[in-house]
Amino acid sequence: MATTDAESMKRAFEDVGFDVDVALPELAHMRTRLRMSPTEVANVYQMFDLNIVSKSSADVVDRGKVSIERLEAFEAFAERERGRSLESKEDAGGSGFGRKRRRAKSGGSTPGSTSGTPGNYVTTSPGTPGTQRRFSFSSATKTPMKHAREWSAELDALGESGESEYKRRAVTPGSARSDASLASQPGGVGAILNEQLAEKIALKTDSDVADVVAVEHLGTEKFRYMRDRISDRVRMIDARVREVETRFAVAVDADDDAAVATQDDAAVASSSAFVSPVGSKTGDEDGHFVGRIVSAHVGSDGKLTDKTVALEGSIDGSSGARVRLELRDLESYSLFPGQVVKVRGRNPAGHCIVAKYIDTDVSVKPFARSKTDSPVFKRGAEVIVASGPFSCSSNLRYEPLHDLLEYVREEKPDALVLCGPLLDAENALVKSGDLGEKFTYYDVVAKVVAKLEDELRERGTKVIFVPSARDVTLDPVFPQPAASVDEFVTDRSRVVSVSNPGTFEINGVVFSACGVDVLKHLSAREISQGHAPKERLGRLAGHVVRQAHAYPLYPPDVSTCLDARHGDALAFERAPDVLILPSDLKAFAEVCEDVVCVNPGRLARGNVGGTLAKIVVHPIDSMESDDADADATRPHEVQKRCRIDVIKIK
């Protein structure tokens, strides 16, 4: 077999998640006998793995490697599948072997209708009947714009007729209003963080262009999902526990090796840092245990009560032992499934830990530091954050988005952060498939992005896209790669697309955003005692900060579409200055562990307007005079100089 052919075979198997180095020559001969392409061989082996190998208890080990011992059974399986494909080829309209057959659309079907799973759409192009396009993150298809770059009258005509409910209920149609002026009215929120600070940066000029840098968590090239196995889920949740255990082990070594430490100091440090395996007996002495919070009821849906809380240790440190936690001696606590904690308490018999203290801050990451003459101190940042849906639920007029853009034109911020979805899967027109005969989902999104680019063309505002699993034009998976915007925009330097969750810097200020409603999911699964009700929203956001994880809840909510194979992308490598957590819960801004956490709310709530957030990080006028070292660094301390206002769109 030629070298290029061997490389093609190896690449095809790697794309479906298999190592083929050992069996590559034998597979080459088999491919020749079966008259199949490398991609077809890989696809059939994937079917063989799922239908044959996974059901054999003797072959479950090293399923990711193609062994020579399995090739005889695989060839027989491939012969059977090839025969079935040839028999049905004529009925399938000539579809090739190994490819998913697409059903031909009837003459009465509506262009833009979908088939298959959400996020991977096959649409009929309105200009060329019968041709199909498939849209996903890696789509390189460039469709010419067939309509003028304006708010389409055809889109406005879809859905409800006449004046919309949004306009009828508008406070000031066509504009946004700060809740500071509506604070006396029902639902008014106002400036909710550092109201004493100015609403604008004093020395900022219109010519200033923000410096936006995106940190790539996930690459879009060859991104594959829905391939996580049980072992991937075990690895993901166990790695978080092991990381915390390792921190305490390192702390013990550091104290033991420190020559300057006194004997008493070393004893105190060692006793507080030493971690016992979960399930080990401590007698009458207090022990320290690291693990994750789980339900004591095996096979349950993960919901907790104060009587069913258990602690599960790591596989290496505690052999995965699970022990019930007794909370009667705690004055206050706030726990949820999947939370990694350190517990101090007694375990006399080895099957129940009587907790005296639960430390939930064990995963907190350090902040970024910058030089004293960097833009994060000298320039600051003005940012407007809005979260979709951007159109009312009964139409696609995008009236809230239109009002948002007018507000952006007035305020002229450094950046506009848009957290998806741009086209919501819960929109009534999307759910019914009634987009008319001239529009596909792709066409709608193209018009929205074109409108954004036109409205902000003459301004220095940069746009940052954070994708969402609720967007019907994107693959519904979490974590989620950055969406491709190259085919939508003409000036790529003005638009930045990040992953979900994503991290980016605006003039040096570190922002992180998560497109999944983690606050709502935590709210449904958390149990707490000894906390005031008004602290609830800030406490939920604090869980994300203290766990240093975009989605610390496990088992996840069914709507999350969590892919454990890419779970490493959910961990924060460092603590952000500002954490954006869009949610259906009430909009808020709180400082949690020195991180500014903000929920901008939804721009559209049903058929009425929602809220957005305006974030102003003020520069520091003068640095300390005794800081003579030009290379000296300091933490950003954004929480002390950041003002946040909630803006209501009605």
Quickly list DSSP for 517-559.
-HHHHHHHH-EEES--GGGHHHHHHHHHHHHTBS---SSPPTT
Q: How many Å apart are CA 348 and CA 370, to the nearest integer?
A: 49
Q: How many Å apart are CA 85 and CA 88, to the nearest integer?
A: 5
Q: Work out the mean pLDDT of the chain and round it to a whole number.
A: 79
Q: Looking at the structure, tell me whether residues 308 and 410 fall in a common domain.
A: no
Q: Looking at the structure, tell me whether residues 342 and 387 fall in a common domain.
A: no
In a domain, 187, yes or no: no
- CA separation, residue 60 to residues 53, 70, 78, 179, 427 (Å): 7, 12, 20, 59, 43
Confidence of residue 250 (pLDDT cuts 50, 70, 90): low
- Compute the average pLDDT of residues 378-388: 94
What is the structure's pLDDT at 62? 65
- Number of domains observed in the structure of the chain: 3
In a domain, 600, yes or no: yes
Question: Last residue of some domain: 359, 382, 400?
Answer: 359
- Compute the average pLDDT of residues 469-487: 89
Q: What is the Cα 434 distance to its own chain's centre?
A: 29
**Tokens representing 173?**
């149609």
Confidence of residue 477 (pLDDT cuts 50, 70, 90): very high
Q: Looking at the structure, tell me whether residues 265 and 396 fall in a common domain.
A: no
Q: Looking at the structure, tell me whether residues 513 and 551 fall in a common domain.
A: yes
Q: What angle do CA 386, 391, 394 make, to 5 degrees?
A: 150
What is the structure's pLDDT at 541? 96
Q: Among 518, 526, 520, 516, which residue's Cα sits nearest to residue 337?
A: 526
In a domain, 574, yes or no: yes
Question: Last residue of some domain: 89, 120, 153?
Answer: 89
What is the structure's pLDDT at 31? 82
Q: How many Å apart are CA 385 and CA 405, to the nearest integer?
A: 12
Contact 385, 612 (CB under 8 A): yes
166-212: pLDDT as tens digits = 777 664 434 444 444 444 343 344 658 999 999 888 877 666 788 99
186-200, 235-249, 261-275: least confidently modelled range: 261-275
What is the structure's pLDDT at 642? 95
- Compute the average pLDDT of residues 293-311: 84
64-78, 190-204, 255-269: least confidently modelled range: 255-269
- Compute the average pLDDT of residues 498-525: 95
Q: Looking at the structure, tell me whether residues 519 and 466 fall in a common domain.
A: yes
Q: How many residues does the chain have?
A: 650
- CA separation, residue 191 to residues 197, 265, 636 (Å): 10, 46, 22
Q: Residue 86 above 80 pLDDT? A: no
Q: Residue 436 above 50 pLDDT? A: yes
- Compute the average pLDDT of residues 602-612: 92
Q: Residue 15 above 80 pLDDT? A: no
Q: Looking at the structure, tell me whether residues 514 and 566 fall in a common domain.
A: yes
Contact 516, 551 (CB under 8 A): yes
What is the structure's pLDDT at 54? 65
Coil/strand/helix, residue 135: strand
Q: Looking at the structure, tell me whether residues 330 and 437 fall in a common domain.
A: no
- Compute the average pLDDT of residues 583-592: 94
What is the structure's pLDDT at 129? 37
Contact 13, 20 (CB under 8 A): yes
In a domain, 167, yes or no: no
Q: Looking at the structure, tell me whether residues 493 and 631 fall in a common domain.
A: yes
Q: Residue 25 above 60 pLDDT? A: yes
108-117, 330-339, 424-433, 618-627: least confidently modelled range: 108-117
In a domain, 112, yes or no: no
Confidence of residue 262 (pLDDT cuts 50, 70, 90): very low
What is the structure's pLDDT at 125? 36
Query: Of the segments 55-69, 246-260, 308-322, which one has the largest average pLDDT value?
Result: 308-322
Q: How many Å apart are CA 648 and CA 189, to the nearest integer?
A: 9
- Compute the average pLDDT of residues 590-595: 94
Coil/strand/helix, residue 170: coil
Confidence of residue 297 (pLDDT cuts 50, 70, 90): confident
48-52, 159-163, 305-309: least confidently modelled range: 159-163
Q: Higher-confidence residue: 236 or 85?
A: 236
Q: Higher-confidence residue: 151 or 541?
A: 541
305-309, 374-378, 457-461: least confidently modelled range: 457-461
Q: Higher-confidence residue: 550 or 51?
A: 550
What is the structure's pLDDT at 12? 82
Question: Last residue of some domain: 344, 359, 374?
Answer: 359
What is the structure's pLDDT at 650? 66
Q: Residue 612 above 90 pLDDT? A: yes
Q: Higher-confidence residue: 390 or 2?
A: 390
In a domain, 305, yes or no: yes
What is the structure's pLDDT at 99? 36
Instruction: State the residue range of the domain holding 352.
Output: 236-359
In sequence order, the 6+-apart residues with CB closer than 8 A to the CB of 566 are 218, 225, 228, 479
What is the structure's pLDDT at 344? 94
The β-bridge partners of 134 are 122
Contact 649, 612 (CB under 8 A): yes
Q: Looking at the structure, tell me whether residues 380 and 346 fall in a common domain.
A: no
Q: What is the Cα 82 distance to its own chain's centre?
A: 40
- Compute the average pLDDT of residues 295-304: 76
Q: Looking at the structure, tell me whether residues 84 and 221 fall in a common domain.
A: no
107-153: pLDDT as tens digits = 343 333 343 333 333 333 333 333 333 333 333 333 333 333 345 56
What is the structure's pLDDT at 113? 39
In a domain, 132, yes or no: no
Strands 611-617 and 132-135: what pairing? Answer: unpaired
Residue 412's Cβ-side half-sphere holds a number of Cα atoms within 13 Å equal to 12
Q: Higher-confidence residue: 208 or 455?
A: 455
Q: What is the CATH number of the domain that holds 304?
A: 2.40.50
Query: pTM for this one?
Result: 0.74
In a domain, 329, yes or no: yes
Q: Looking at the structure, tell me whether residues 385 and 442 fall in a common domain.
A: yes
Q: Higher-confidence residue: 365 or 302?
A: 365
Q: Looking at the structure, tell me whether residues 372 and 354 fall in a common domain.
A: no
Q: What is the CATH number of the domain that holds 455?
A: 3.60.21.60
Burial class (CB in 10 A: 0-12, 13-18, 19+), 150: exposed
What is the structure's pLDDT at 478? 95
